Structure 1
Amino acid sequence: MIYPDIVLPRLRYQYCPMCRSELSKQVINDDQIERVCCPQCKWVHFPSNAIGVVILITAGNGIVAILPPKAPLEYPAALPAGHGEYGESPEEAAIREAYEETGFQVEITDLLGWQFNKNLAYPGPMINFFYEAKAIGGSIRDSEEGRVKVFALDNFPAIAPQRGGSRKTMELYLQKINSLNGLMSDE
C-alpha cells in the first residue's frame, strides 16, 4: 500500500485493525475520493486533522509569556499552546493548556482566528485556533514548557520565527487592539 507523504507513518495502515486482512485503496462513496479500506470487513480508514490551540492570556495589565529553557536569547518568548485531546473541543483544549502551562485558570474572551496548516511533519495536517483569554483564578507557576512571566504589551519579548502559532496569535491580537483604538479615536 502506497500512502502520500503527508500521511504520518503511524497512520499508514497495511492491514485491517479489525480483521487483519490486507487493505486496499478504493473509491467507496460518490465523492470519488480513494480511501484505504478493508475488502473483507468493509472497515474504512478516515484519518483526521490534528487540532492545535494557542492562547494569549491577559493577567492584570499584562500578557502571560512562557520563556522556554532552550529558546534563543534574541527570541525568548512563546505563548501557551498545545494539541487538543481526543473528544476535547478547541475551547476546552485552550483552557486546559493554559492551566497546565501557566497555572492560571482562564476564561476565553475571543476567538482571534484560525489557520489550517496542511504540511506539518508532526502531528500532520493541523487546524490551529488562536484564542484570547483572561486569567480568572489560579496562580502563576512555571511548567515543563518553561518559566512563566507577565509582561506589559509594550515590553513583551520577541517570539521566535519557528513559533508560528504564537506569532500569529500575537499578530491577530495586535490587529484587534489597533482596530479598537482606531474606533475609540474616531469618537
Structure 2
Amino acid sequence: MMSDLPIVPNHFRYCPRCGKSLVLLPDGGRQRASCQACGFIHFSTFSLGVGGVVVRDNKVLFIRRGQDPGKGRWTIPGGYVEQDEPFEEAVVRELYEETGVHTEVQGVLAARNSLTQRDSNVYIVFSLKDLGGGPECDGVEVDRAEFLAPHEFEALQELADVSKYFAQMALETPAAPLTTSSFAGQTSGYAYSMFDIAGFNPHALDLD
C-alpha cells in the first residue's frame, strides 16, 4: 500500500538542474522534493536489476560474493542494468562478467519488487541458455563461481533464500518465453522496446 511519507531524494538536497535548494511541496497527493526556481520535481528513485539462472547437467550456476554488500553470500549471478542498456543484454553481460559463462536469454522466471527507504528496486530473473565457457571469476567482486546440484545448493547455509527459490523454479518450471523482437520504436526522442511474455501479443495493440 502506498504511504503518505514525503518523497525525498537520498543523495542530494539541491536541484540537479539549476543547483537551487529543494523544498517539500505537494504534488499528486504526496510531499515531494521540488525546486521552486526551475520547476524540477523528484518523484522517486528507482533501480532495475537482473539475475540469470543457468542450468548445466542439472546443476545451477551460483556465485559467492567477494565484497560487501553480501560478502560471503551465495546467489545467482546478476547485477544492475545500465540506463542505456536493454535488460536482456544486461543479464547476459553480467553473467559473463561474473562467471565467464556465455549465455542467451530463454525466458523470464520471475520479477521481484523491493521497496526500501533508499529506492524502489525491480529485479527480473531470466532463464538463460548455456552456451559454454567458465565458470571462472575475478576473485575480487566474485570469489567463487560454481555449478551446484540441488542437494549441494540446498545444503548451503550462506545461500540467499530467494536465489534458492529461483534455482528450484528453473529446474521444475518452464520459463515464460520472451520474444525480444516483437516491437521496437521511438517516442518523443526516446527509444523503447516491448516484449512478448507468456502469449501476450503486442501486434494486437493499436499503437497508432
TM-score, structure 1 as length reference:
0.71
**1:154–1:110 Cα change, 3 Å:** farther
Percent of aligned pairs sharing the same letter? 26
Q: Which residue of 2 aligns with 1:18?
A: 17
More strand by share: 2
1:141 aligns with 2:136: yes
1:18-77 deviation digits (Å, cap 9, x = unpaired): 22322222234xx43332221111122233321122211123442212244563xxxx74
Instruction: Quote the Cα distance in structure 2 between the aligned partners of 1:137 and 1:174.
Output: 18
Q: Which residue of 2 aligns with 1:88?
A: 85
1:42 aligns with 2:47: no
Aligned with 2:135: secondary structure? Answer: coil
**1:139–1:175 Cα change, 3 Å:** closer
Cα contact 1:6–1:124 (8 A) shared by 2:
no
After superposition, the CA RMSD in angstroms is 2.9
Instruction: Quote the Cα distance in structure 1 between the aligned partners of 2:161 and 2:16.
Output: 36
Offset of residue 7 of structure 1? 5.4
Query: Unaligned stretches of 5+ in structure 2?
Result: 175-208
Instruction: Quote the Cα distance in structure 2 between the aligned partners of 1:140 and 1:118.
Output: 33
1:104-124 deviation digits (Å, cap 9, x = unpaired): 1111112111111112x6x63
Instruction: Quote the Cα distance in structure 1 between the aligned partners of 2:89 and 2:151.
Output: 29
Instruction: Quote the Cα distance in structure 2 between the aligned partners of 1:5 and 1:154.
Output: 46
Q: Which residue of 2 aligns with 1:66?
A: 63
Query: Per chain length, whose mean CA-contact separation is higher, i.e. which structure has more relative contact order (CA < 8 Å, sep 6+)?
Result: 1
Cα contact 2:7–2:42 (8 A) shared by 1:
no
Instruction: Quote the Cα distance in structure 2 between the aligned partners of 1:162 and 1:139.
Output: 21
Cα contact 2:8–2:32 (8 A) shared by 1:
no
More helix by share: 1
